[in-house]
Structure 1
Amino acid sequence: MFTVDRKDFGPNFVFGAATAAYQIEGGQTDGRGPSIWDTFAATPGNVKNADDGHMACDHYNRWPEDLDLIRDAGFEGYRFSLAWPRLIPEGTGAVNQAGLDFYDRLIDGMLERGLKPFATLYHWDLPSALQDKGGWMNRDIAGWFGDYAAVVGKRFGDRLHATATINEPWCVAFLSHFLGVHAPGYRDMRAATRAMHHVLYAHGTAIDALRVQGVKNLGIVLNLEKSEPATDSAEDQVAFDYGDALFNRWYLGGVFKGQYPEILTTALAKVMPEGWEKDMEVVSRPLDWVGINYYTRGLYKHDATRPLFPIGQVKGPLEKNDLGWEIYPQGLTDLLVRVSRDYTKLPIYVTENGMSEDDDTRRVAFYDAHLQAVKAAQGQGADVRGYFAWSLLDNYEWAEGYSSRFGIVHVDYQTQKRTPKGSYRAFQGMLHNTR
């Protein structure tokens, strides 16, 4: 059980669970088009055990059971994503009626169960046809994404409690175009720089399109880390400055100040998209809330073997999850306070937080410590309005395949049987506690 109470967070605080379309839906039928993750997963060496999302958790067919699990736990909200290739198979043009019908059923099912729908337009499953045109490296993606946002807004907007444009733009851009860990798997600085800008330009374009459709309560979901220098040396301080700029300040500064960190615009001057400065008014369109996904911290050291960004990372001394990510609850408090102090007074939602681990006792302790961290941030003035556990279900964990389990509900991938874990029961006990 947790050491925090539901009432500790305020009467309007939203507790929820989170998922993403490609990680749980399966259902690659009924007119859904291919995505970059289908081809990335099919390429040998990209994903553990050559796993793919063809079946995933079969949420496409089992969604009523999954929504019942969310309701029965006592959660008030469900953060989910819509699959762009399910709705517009080629990325632009013809809309797939079966895709519209599926999300109609899903959203209506949430409302029937008293759940607030928190929708995300893009959680990494870019239609393959758009990748053929350059994907996030092509400036035209802002228009493609804006048109997709308009389709979602027109059809579903009046039933959505909150809508985010992009999930984790750092992953969309840097992890996927510079580090090559996620689809489309590029390792190229020019590609990454364009993606870093275009993903935020597309975000702003989508905000405009959603507002035209009358959609309310709009935001973006940023994955942030608690960046720190490995030592007090001057070189490690510079490394930290680069690391923090790449992971945090590019996205926070772009969205909330219309400015990218000078340390990066200087380093990347030769590969920045031409005329990017003129886009910053769109990048920084006014929002209604911001989501923060938090898992760990980054400890940066100087590494002279990397000339563009002379940085490396060291492993911290604290306990790790089974992916080797350091467990650092204080970092969540620090980030929430930093964002509210330095960037925006908008309401903040912790839109993802969780632990990959087979030992659910450790997961319960992880959640408890991070809920305490949220409460501490509120005590320091951060306007935190909600917390979403990642994830409702064990699921397809991208390049880790099915080897990594973040769920508060166990999934047997052979039978698709759902079994609530102790962490699910801990949330259930807290959320049903009316003391």
Structure 2
Amino acid sequence: MTMDRRDLLLGAGAALTPLIAAAEIKPKRPAPAGFLWGTAISAYQSEGGNTNSDAWLMENIRHSMFKERSGDACDSYHRYAEDFAIAGGLGLNCYRMGVEWARIEPSEGEFSEAELDHYARMLEACRARGLKPMVTLNHFTTPLWFAMRGGFEVPDAPALFARYCRKVAERLGGLMHMTTTFNEANIRLLVDLMPGIQNAIPAVKAAIAAAARATDSPRFSRLAYADSQVVSPIMQEAHRRAYDAIKAVRPNLPVGVTLTTQDIQSAGDPSLVAIYQRKLYGDWVEVARSHADFFGVQTYTRFVVDEQGVRPPPKGAELTLAGYEFYPQALANTIRWAHKAIGKPIYVTESGVATNDDARRIAFIDQALDGVRQCLAEGIPVHSYLYWSLLDNFEWTSGYGVPFGLVAVDRKTFKRTPRPSAAHLGAIARANLI
């Protein structure tokens, strides 16, 4: 790194000072000792150029369901030090990031020492900025070779995933603060609940068929489109094996699992909450109880349900740019559910809102933190608040039109511009008051 480059990165944190000073802090109560304030991001959505991934193929096939291609994304593969400088300069103390299986094991059984070294440099740079790294080992994407052989729909997938996790733990585990296996491991169960999913099935089948033809692999499988009844038990076994593999080489490294934990509310009596919670979580509750040191809550909204399924948002409700209801109160309810159902230390590993109105982002953060404070007052062990996301990144099939970031990213120059919401969360974190 040249001196000019180092000075530039140091300046990224300093440039935030006026915003931080201007942000209004509303003292509430001291956060618990060791509370993690931070942001979350995935490798694929921010790094760019991940050509060995199943997601890259799905973006580029003829029957793609993606509105845009990821391309260079935020170029965080090269600009990670700048991202850490911004996060550290804000006053955050945690950075949830991912490593990409497709980079680390680009072909079956062949692990890239160069890519492992790259992620080691990232973790060292993260720590140098005063940020504790929480590392996600799989965030919806897999190596193309893995998808071509059947993904998580074939019986030996758990062994392959555990082998990868062990390799990462051996090389990188000493640099991690915590790790999780799957991001939102129940994502397929969530998709099955979404209104209108039946209308999307023809397009899904066409996309998978196109991917199979493009790779000459009739067993092609991508997690986002796979049969939920098939992949759920296989992924659960993959998590258990990965947990054991990591613990075998890094017994003191906390290993957890995150689920998508939307607040389920029943439209009438008798209550249907328990029925729909079972649909959303399946057997993952039992897996988290037996094979997790902590549980990651990832909440964005509520689902109001009746006998027909999940209802559309109420008439007149404020909607986010992601299309669902603006409802930050959901977080407190899912924390309470997780505490009662799972009983492990709880970390809020994702909470955020897609909007072009940064005042509403600030309001969302404040109201979500109100719920965390209420849960702490009730004696529930909540250990973090990680906002999704630091950057406006690639939001899968929605492309770049769904801005969650505390920091805007210019799509041509990659210039990072912190929003007032970044300073707001940073001021709260610096004060360590919730």
Show the counterpart of 2:409.
411
The residue identity in structure 1 corresponding to 2:83 is D
- Of 132, 148, 158, 1:142 maps to 158
SS at 1:371's partner residue? Answer: helix
Question: What's 2:89 paired with?
Answer: 72
1:380 counterpart letter in structure 2: E
Pick from 78, 97, 100 the counterpart of residue 83 of structure 1: 100
Q: CA deviation at 1:10?
A: 2.1
* Secondary structure, counterpart of 2:431 in structure 1: coil
Deviation at 1:249, TM superposition (A): 4.8
Per the TM alignment, residue 225 of structure 1 is displaced from its structure 2 partner at its CA by 0.9
Per the TM alignment, residue 8 of structure 1 is displaced from its structure 2 partner at its CA by: 3.0
Does the 8 A contact of 1:27 with 1:61 survive in 2? no
Deviation at 1:390, TM superposition (A): 0.4
Alpha-carbon displacement from aligned partner over 1:331-350 (angstroms, at most 9, x marks no partner): 21121122212321x21110
Q: RMSD of the alignment, in Å?
A: 2.4
Q: For the structure 1 residues 59 and 177, does the alpha-carbon distance in structure 2 shift closer, same or farther, using more than 3 Å as the test?
A: farther
Runs of 5+ consecutive residues of structure 2 not aligned to the other structure: 1-22, 208-220
Distance 2:429 2:360 in 1: 20
Q: Any conservation in 1 of the 2:188–2:224 contact (CA below 8 Å)?
A: no
Shift of 1:192: 1.5
Q: In 2, Cα distance between the equivalents of 1:243 and 1:176?
A: 11
Distance 1:108 1:368 in 2: 31
SS at match of 1:404: coil
Are 1:36 and 2:54 an aligned pair?
yes
2:43 is aligned with 1:17: no
Letter of the 1:229 counterpart: S
- Superposed counterparts of 1:207-226, under 5 Å: 207-215=243-251, 216-226=253-263
Structure 1 distance, partners of 2:58, 2:190, is 16
1:121 and 2:120 are equivalent in the alignment: no
Is the 1:176–1:186 Cα contact (8 Å) retained in structure 2? no
Give distance in 1, aligned partners of 2:134 and 2:104.
18
Q: 2:298 aligns with which of 281, 293, 315?
A: 293
Deviations 1:274-303 (A, max 9, x none): xxxxxxxxxx32x22111110011111223
Q: Partner of 2:397 in structure 1?
A: 399
Q: Distance in 1 between matches of 2:377 and 2:246?
A: 34
Aligned: 1:231 with 2:268: yes
Instruction: Say whether the 8 Å CA contact 1:200–1:255 is kept in structure 2.
Output: no
**Shift in alpha-carbon separation, 1:45–1:185, aligned structure 2, 3 A:** farther
Any conservation in 1 of the 2:185–2:257 contact (CA below 8 Å)?
no
2:56 & 2:28 partners in 1: Cα distance?
40
One-letter amino acid of the structure 2 residue matched with residue 248 of structure 1: Y
Q: What CA distance in whole angstroms lies between the structure 1 residues aligned with 2:246 and 2:419?
A: 38
Q: Distance in 2 between matches of 1:128 and 1:434?
A: 43
The structure 2 residue matched to 1:387, chosen from 367, 371, 385, is: 385
Residue 163 of structure 1 is matched in structure 2 by: 179
What is the deviation of 1:313? 2.6
Runs of 5+ consecutive residues of structure 1 not aligned to the other structure = 257-283, 304-310
On the 8 A contact 1:333/1:373 being kept in 2, the answer is yes
Q: Confirm or deny: 8 A CA contact 2:349 2:387 kept in the other structure.
A: yes
1:6-62, Cα deviation, whole Å (9 max, x unpaired): 85322321101110010000144xxxx62121122123564453x222310000111
Aligned residue for 1:26?
48
Alpha carbons of 1:127 and 1:36: their partners in 2 closer, same or farther (altered >3 Å)? same
How many residues are aligned here?
Answer: 387
Is the Cα contact below 8 Å between 1:149 and 1:209 reproduced in 2? yes
2:111 matched residue in structure 1? 95
Provide Cα deviations, 1:87-111, integer angstroms capped at 9, x if missing partner: 0002x31111221121011001011
Counterpart for residue 264 of structure 1: none
| Aligned match of 2:352 | 354
Whole-Å Cα distance in 2 between the matches of residues 8 and 327 of structure 1? 27
Work out the CA distance in 2 between the residues paired with 1:411 and 1:364.
Answer: 18
| Structure 2 counterpart of 1:85, one-letter code | A
The secondary structure found in structure 1 opposite 2:304 is strand
CA contact (8 A) 2:408 2:419 kept: yes
Give yes or no for the alignment of 1:321 onto 2:343.
no
Q: Secondary structure at the match of 1:329?
A: coil
Q: Which amino acid aligns with 1:184?
A: R
| Distance change >3 Å, CA 174–CA 430, structure 1 → 2 | closer
Structure 1 position 193 matched with structure 2 position 209: no
Structure 2 vs 1, CA of residues 146 and 411 (structure 1 numbering), >3 Å: closer, same or farther?
A: same
Distance 1:290 1:64 in 2: 28
CA contact (8 A) 2:353 2:361 kept: yes
Supply the distance in 2 between the matched residues of 1:348 and 1:64 (Cα, whole angstroms).
Answer: 29
Q: Go from structure 1 to structure 2 and tell me whether the alpha carbon gap of 1:380 and 1:177 turns closer, same or farther (over 3 Å shift).
A: closer
In 1, distance between residues paired with 2:186 and 2:432? 39
Using the TM superposition, give the Cα deviation of residue 187 of structure 1 relative to its aligned residue in structure 2, in angstroms: 6.0
Contact 1:17–1:77 at 8 Å: present in 2 too? yes
Counterpart code for 1:407: G
- After TM superposition, the structure 1 = structure 2 runs for residues 338-353 of structure 1, keeping only pairs within 5 Å, are 338-344=337-343, 346-353=344-351
Relative to structure 1, the CA distance from residue 363 to residue 312 in structure 2 (aligned partners, 3 Å threshold; closer, same or farther) is closer
TM-score by length of 1: 0.83
Instruction: For 1:56 and 1:38, locate their aligned partners in 2 and report how far apart those are by CA, in whole Å.
Output: 12
Corresponding residue for residue 333 of structure 1: 332
CA distance in 1, matches of 2:408, 2:133: 23
